[in-house]
Amino acid sequence: MIDITRPIACITGMGSAVPEGRLTNAELEKTLDTTDEWITDRTGIRCRHIARPDESMLSYTLKAAHQAMEQAGVTAADLDGIVFATVTPDRRLPSVACDLQAALGAKPAWAFDLVAACPGWVYALSVAEGMMATGLGETILVVGAEKLSMITDRDDRNTAILFGDGAGAGVLRRVRPGEDRGILATYLGADGDLADLLYIPGGGAADPFTEEVLRERRHYMKMAGREVFKAAVLAMSRSSDEAIRRAGMPPESIDLLVPHQANLRIIEAAAKHAGIPMSKVFCNLDRYGNTSSASIPLALTQAQAEGVLKPGMIVMLAAFGAGFTWGSVVLRW
């Protein structure tokens, strides 16, 4: 590991947005063999936001980006780059980051998409910090957004109860002399041997879209729920431990844990392992479900708006997802 002096970068603005459409547990009871009580008890989720089929991901991402930029006090002309984490771009080519750049009027800022599933925003944050460290930007827009409703099989109880749509964005800026805030430590990891625990079997270059793929519903997510649960708890626990170690502080120094909002039981298990009480954990998955790369910036935006997240706090972000990928960040807000 290269020894670098931190903090290099800090988050100066956050924003989030979700589609207006909502899907409650009560509505899922009508189409699936499940109940509101079962979903809430097993996952902690009560509702999720679902975009209309004709509603682009870019439309609500743009709202999140404008909100983050306004809070940070920057304009499109100030952006040096855009890192956009997503597994559900509006189109395969070009990147949705370029579409966002054009919509914002942020030319000629560099822009690209990043695919890391649920830890996508944590990965994007780390990549943006690295770009900043090498002189490729002073102000970078870091986005996590998804339209998971388009890859979720509404007839599959394993996945239909979990996933929702949403977008979150943060403005990352180089730390100025005398500022006592910013990213203190980061840890990322992956294990491709676990890929088949959560994946989409068809629709890619190896198995292109055909009538058979559509008929067999191979273009939708498949998940081995119990195995994912075990791997997720282990991944979040290990990455949290390592990020705290790299930050050079004990677990009790963490003022707020903002985890990936996937499943309340996973969050509780990971927090217990890290020695962080649930009173220091921010959760909003009951309102949004699992929004993959959007979940952490959605939670950060809400925590800040509600006064839970305050300047000077030591905050840890922790996420896991398909790949298997995982990552944690410790920062001073």
- At residue 225 the predicted structure's pLDDT band, cuts being 50, 70 and 90, is confident
pLDDT tens by residue, 108-167: 999 999 999 999 999 999 999 999 999 999 999 999 999 999 999 999 999 999 999 999
Q: Which domain range does residue 241 map to? A: 182-332
Q: Which of 25, 263, 284, 290 is catalytic?
A: 290
Instruction: Assess whether pLDDT exceeds 90 at residue 16.
Output: yes
Q: Catalytic residue at 66? A: no
Instruction: State how far the Cα of 152 lies from the Cα of 162, in Å rounded to an integer.
Output: 9
pLDDT band at 86; cut points 50, 70, 90: very high
Active site residue 47: no
- 203-223 pLDDT, tens digit per residue, is 888 888 899 988 989 899 998
4 located within any domain: no
Same-domain pairing of 112 and 137: yes
pLDDT at 6: 83
Specify whether 247 is located in the same domain as 301: yes
- Cα(25)–Cα(176) distance, rounded to whole angstroms? 47
List 47, 118, 219, 284, catalytic entry: 118
Mean pLDDT of the chain: 94
- Out of 144, 174, 204, a domain closes at 174
Packing angle, helices 295-305 and 120-133, rounded to 10: 80
Gap between the Cα atoms of 170 and 333, Å rounded: 13
Query: Quick one: 205 and 276 in the same domain?
Result: yes
Whether 49 is catalytic:
no
CA 240 to chain CA centroid, Å, is 16
Whether 207 and 231 share a structural domain: yes
Write down the pTM of the prediction.
0.95
- Distance in angstroms (rounded) separating the CA atoms of residues 12 and 56: 27
Q: How confident is the model at residue 257 (pLDDT cuts 50, 70, 90)?
A: very high
Domain assignment of residue 2, yes or no: no
Selecting among 260, 263, 283, 284, the annotated active-site residue is: 260
DSSP secondary-structure letter at 57? H
Whether 47 and 129 share a structural domain: yes
